Amino acid sequence: MAITLAEIQQGVSEFPELKNEILAAFEPDATDYLKGKGFELLTADQKAQLLKKHESEVIGPRVKEFATGIEKDVFDITGMKKLHDEEKYYDYLKRGLETQKAQISDLQKAGVTDEATKQRIAALEQELAEAKSSVENGKKEYETEKLNLKLANNFANAFGELKIAVPSGVAEKDAADYQANKRRMLQQDLLSQYEPVEQDGKIVYKGKDGQFAMNGGNYYTEKELLTKAFQYEFELAPNRTGTGSGHASGDASLAAVSDKQGLYAAASKKGLVAGSPEWKKFIEEGAASKNIAL
């Protein structure tokens, strides 16, 4: 006698430890199935390799471009050459600024008061101020660009593990465009709520209250923040299904519902699992009956 899916689910509910054994037994079939559904499954090593490649191919050249610009500024202002090709740009910059300061100090100590010397001191001080300003502005631009590059990479990884739920009314040929647009909207929305800050080489997020977004003792990741803020926008794992009829038309639970969040809450109270076919039907029919924009 063949075993049914319901019997397997019942067995897992009674003996949770069976879940990992079942998943292991059906690997790689389960992995292939998830990939076929659009999920991008990466190991920790694969993610590390992607980040390393990103830093090497994208961030690395930007650092070199920034350093070259600083070195040009130092030479143009001071006329001083690098000690050797391997001298780091920040060491070269430091020598250039110290040289400018020394020239100003020497002229001031000499006690020369003629107008030409005064003008020379003023010019050196102006050049020094411009050099510092150029370095600071360049550093800010570089740090901003580096942060944006890391953000793009992190969100790409996060969305690679999350599948946007496509409403049944969207044609199959338009599904990819719908998901791409939704990803951009969700990322922008999230970044309007949280400020990304680089800390110890990683990006963490600070809320409007100035507090870091924490999950227990750990910083929230992009994936965790997305699922926390927009849980109803993503499909769940394919082996999860909703419960209940999912029929929204004329449903008494919608009596007090007037917006999208209330609609989602009503679906949750009915026991419908977000992303399941029953959940989608309830949400779409409820939105239509209550004139709620999704």
Taking the CB of residue 159, how many other CB atoms lie within 10 A of it? 22
Residue range(s) defining the domain that contains residue 84: 46-154
Domain boundary among 138, 154, 170: 154
Say how far apart CA 189 and CA 46 lie, in whole Å: 28
The closest alpha carbon to 275, from 246, 254, 248, 250, belongs to 246
Domain assignment present for 175: no
Is the peptide bond prior to 277 cis by the omega test (within 30 degrees of 0)?
no
Whether the model pTM is above 0.75:
no
Of the residues 119, 154, 189, which one is the last residue of a structural domain? 154
- Asked whether residue 197 is assigned to any structural domain, the reply reads no
Of 91, 123, 154, the residue at which a domain comes to its end is: 154
Extract the tokens encoding 38.
Answer: 């659009």
pLDDT: is 283 or 17 the higher one? 283
In a domain, 206, yes or no: no
Query: Is 142 in the same domain as 238?
Result: no
My answer on whether 53 and 147 are in the same domain is yes
The contacts of residue 14 (CB under 8 Å, 6+ apart) are none
- A 10 A CB-CB count for 151 gives 16
Nearest alpha carbon to residue 275 among 166, 148, 180, 171 = 166
The residue-averaged pLDDT of 170-179 equals: 85
Residue 228 pLDDT = 87
pLDDT in tens, 106-138: 877 777 667 776 776 677 677 767 767 776 777
In a domain, 161, yes or no: no
Q: How many domains does the chain have?
A: 2
pLDDT tens track for 37-50: 666 666 767 767 77
Tokens encoding 53: 């490649």
Residue carrying structure tokens 């110890």: 200
Contact 52, 109 (CB under 8 A): no
In a domain, residue 180? The reply is no
What does the pLDDT read at residue 213?
92
